[in-house]
Amino acid sequence: MQRFIESASATAINTRSHLLIACTTLLLAAGCSTTSSPGDALTSSPDSGGLPVASSPAVTTPARAHAASPGTAAEGSAASRPHWTSRDETATTGNLWDRIRAGFAMPELDSTLVAEKERFYLSKPDYLQRMFARGSRYLFHIVEELEKRGMPTELALLPFVESAMNPVALSNAQAAGLWQFIPSTGREYNLDQNWWVDNRRDVVKSTDAALDYLQKIHEMHGDDWFLALASYNWGENAVARAVKRNEARGLPTDYLSLQMPNETRHYVPKLIALKHILQHADTLGVQLPDLPNRPYFVTIEKTRPIDLKLAARFAGMTVSEFVALNPAHNRPVIAASRNNEIKLPADRVDAFIDAVERHGQNKLAFATWQPYTLKQGDTLETLAARAGIPVNELRVANDLRAGTNVLPGTRLLSPWHEVQDESRIETFNGPRVYELVNRPAVYHTVGARESLGSIARRYGTTVANLQAQNGLKKAVASRGLRLLVREASSQTMLTTEAGERRVVAQSEPRIMRAVLREEVTVPAPAPVARSKAPGPDAATPEASRTRVAKRSGRPRVKATASGLRPGAAGGSPAKSPVGAVPLRTSQHGKSAPVRRVDKRT
């Protein structure tokens, strides 16, 4: 049995600092489970694959379990498992709301908008409760990071304003996550965004990036937090230009004196209103959820892929609960090389590790979602039925739109009951999809004061084409006439792993076999003596004739195996009807389309 976790470490946070909590080295080999001591800090062994194992005083150090020899099962005991000891209780007692209030340091904002926003929030108590309940998972981490940097804890309330503390929130401007990073700013702050993960939604990584950015713009605006917050919402350059305009006019340059969009004008008052509600929750009748002053989650580092549903089951969580702590993962399987961290509630780690050990001892796969290339006869429906999942789940996992007509040659992710090599998932960069796209015919009814010229310009065609398609002798179309503007057609589209779409050439054999409408039959050729200068009777009609089933409205076409029309003067190539593909016969007697580099679907 392959190892699932060669090196696992969890990061727990106490009141003043991060404590790196080492999990253990879990070796799952052919029915054995061996646990190495976290006390072996930054050491490597053949069993751990050369990976260091960090240690921490927050985890007890059990005696080293005896290593199991190959093929021998080692019995795990309670003493050999990592134990999650309690943190410094003197530092984690009390209520996190009190701790947040104690860190408020921003000045008051003298604006009537603050009272207006207070009334808005207080008129929606259910909305407030939902926000605060979601925040209970993330606030301890955010407050911890703010205190480390000496930043005011009002900023812990900013995700309530930005995303209602929803880590999967996505705006119309494609801003994502708790802190609502747009794609370009996310990349600037090293938040990976690819087919596998979007770290703008990662709670830990996005919080680090947001606080880095806030510190930068706070310094840029002369340590003015209100201007820094305006920059976070509106853009640092936009605020800088507004400041310069006021300076040029001899006007004040504080937040309330600048000309700015309404959204930015209301942005800071929302934050200050939430601050006031927290300060006077009892007086205002706002019931805050219980929020202990201790870490809600810890981070596990892993080196093996694992299905997301399986990880949730190991932790005793629903999939939605697991995703709430791990919203950065885009796929139903977590690839170790793309993002090697998962976050778990601090009180579920022991259960998770126990479940991992049992699963490995039973020699079961951890990552059942694996790359698969569709073969002839495969469809999404048959693939989903084989895996025992709804076809829509397969579509969502591979970002396939409903109604996509996938063709053989498509490479995507699919779950399997038996997996030989789980590491194959690490080389998968995204689906490579071939699909047949049917374009319906386009018609246009001629209206008043319309001409063939204006209609041609509207649809990007020519008057000559409109005449030919509609049998018009003159370039005139009477009012009410229904014109065929574009004939129905089919195209084979390729969507690459990078998301680029293009029409593929008909000359690609595997695609041609999937999209050709002609039924082609080629009999096995009779042996023909090869000569240096073949004559007109070098191949008999019986040995060279191919049969092409006619399309609707097209006559039967016969062609020789050499591609020449019998009796054609000078051996000129025979002309094929539109859409027909000339064939060649391989040495094994199998038919294959001739490569036509100048023909595209």
Q: Are strands 18-29 and 32-36 parallel, antiparallel or unpaired?
A: antiparallel
Question: What helix, strand, coil percent values describe the chain, rounded to 5?
Answer: 35, 15, 45
3-state secondary structure at position 11: strand
Question: Minimal CA–CA distance to 145: which of 237, 236, 207, 69?
Answer: 207
In single-letter form, the type of residue at position 54 comes to A
The answer to whether 253 and 237 are in contact (CB under 8 A) is no
What tokens appear for 85 in the block? 């000891």
- Cα 267 to Cα 111: distance, rounded to the nearest angstrom: 12
Which DSSP string corresponds to 534-565? --TTSS-HHHH-EEEPPPTT---EEE-TTSB-
User: Annotated catalytic residue: which of 144, 162, 341, 508?
Assistant: 162
- Cα 409 to Cα 435: distance, rounded to the nearest angstrom: 10
The answer to whether 152 and 104 are in contact (CB under 8 A) is yes
Question: Minimal CA–CA distance to 302: which of 366, 371, 209, 206?
Answer: 366
121 membership: H or E segment, kind and range: helix 112-122
The answer to whether 332 and 308 are in contact (CB under 8 A) is yes
CA dihedral 372, 374, 380, 384 (to 10 degrees): -40
Write down the residue that tokens 């999650």 correspond to: 84
Rounded to 5 degrees, what angle do the CA atoms 500, 398, 494 make?
30
- Cα 485 to Cα 573: distance, rounded to the nearest angstrom: 33
DSSP state letter for 109: -
Concerning whether 487 is annotated as a catalytic residue, the answer is no
Neighbour-count burial of 278, counting CB atoms closer than 10 A to its CB (0-12 exposed, 13-18 middle, 19+ buried): buried
Rounded to 5 degrees, what angle do the CA atoms 301, 306, 308 make?
100
Write down the residue that tokens 């119309």 correspond to: 172
Strands of the sheet with 546-548, listed across from one edge: 520-521, 546-548, 557-559
Between the alpha carbon of residue 54 and those of residues 21, 23, 129, 600, the distances in Å are: 8, 9, 39, 58
The answer to whether 92 and 15 are in contact (CB under 8 A) is yes
Beta-carbon-side half-sphere exposure of residue 480 (alpha carbons within 13 Å): 0
DSSP state letter for 27: E
The answer to whether 477 and 455 are in contact (CB under 8 A) is yes
- Cα 133 to Cα 288: distance, rounded to the nearest angstrom: 9
Q: How many CB atoms lie within 10 A of CB 272?
A: 23
Q: How many CB atoms lie within 10 A of CB 247?
A: 11
Beta-carbon-side half-sphere exposure of residue 9 (alpha carbons within 13 Å): 20
- Cα 490 to Cα 508: distance, rounded to the nearest angstrom: 16
Active site residues: 162
